[in-house]
Amino acid sequence: MSFDIANCRIDILNPDYNNLKEDRNENSIVFLLTHKENTFLFTGDLSKKGETRIMNKYNLAEVDVLKAGHHGSKTSSGEVFLDQIKPKIIVISVGSNNFGHPSAEVIEKYNKKSIKYLRTDKSGMIKFTSDGNNLFFNTFR
């Protein structure tokens, strides 16, 4: 499913309503938001397996912003996925939790790949602005 709104295109990549999974995380809404030359990928709580599924099905290209899957859990942000979409910046939506999110393993992976990331538990609200070619962001506590 795709639709246009306010000079943007939104492509819904997941779930596949004809093939819902037992694991609710695998049915997370995943969408690609495109504003002219700027792209944002929101992955919900999708796992590495789900990332691979949508990557293969939609032949995803590089993205400007990736909303980290599953709050930075080690079950998401697979190597192959990151290598294909090459995000310029990753946003980890996370607060105080008992799950260890974001995972040290995932943070290490981002650092190893020199991917800049922001965390809502450290930076507060993160606001992106796009003019269609350039991205700007502010953080608010």
3-state secondary structure the chain: CEEEECCEEEEEEECCCCCCCCCHHHHCCEEEEEECCEEEEECCCCCHHHHHHHHHHHCCCCCCEEECHHHHCCCCCCHHHHHHHCCCEEEECCCCCCCCCCCHHHHHHHHHCCCEEEEHHHHCEEEEEECCCCEEEEEEC
Q: What pLDDT is attached to residue 25?
A: 74
Q: What is the pLDDT of residue 104?
A: 92
What is residue 57's predicted lDDT score, i.e. its pLDDT?
Answer: 92
Domains and CATH numbers, the chain: 2-140 (3.60.15.10)
**pLDDT for the residue numbered 28:** 87
Output the tens digit of pLDDT for each of the chain's 141 residues: 899 999 999 999 998 777 777 777 777 889 999 999 999 999 999 999 999 999 999 989 999 999 998 778 888 899 999 999 999 999 998 878 787 679 899 999 999 999 999 999 999 999 999 999 999 999 998
pLDDT of residue 126: 96
pLDDT for 117 equals: 96
Q: What is the pTM of this model?
A: 0.91
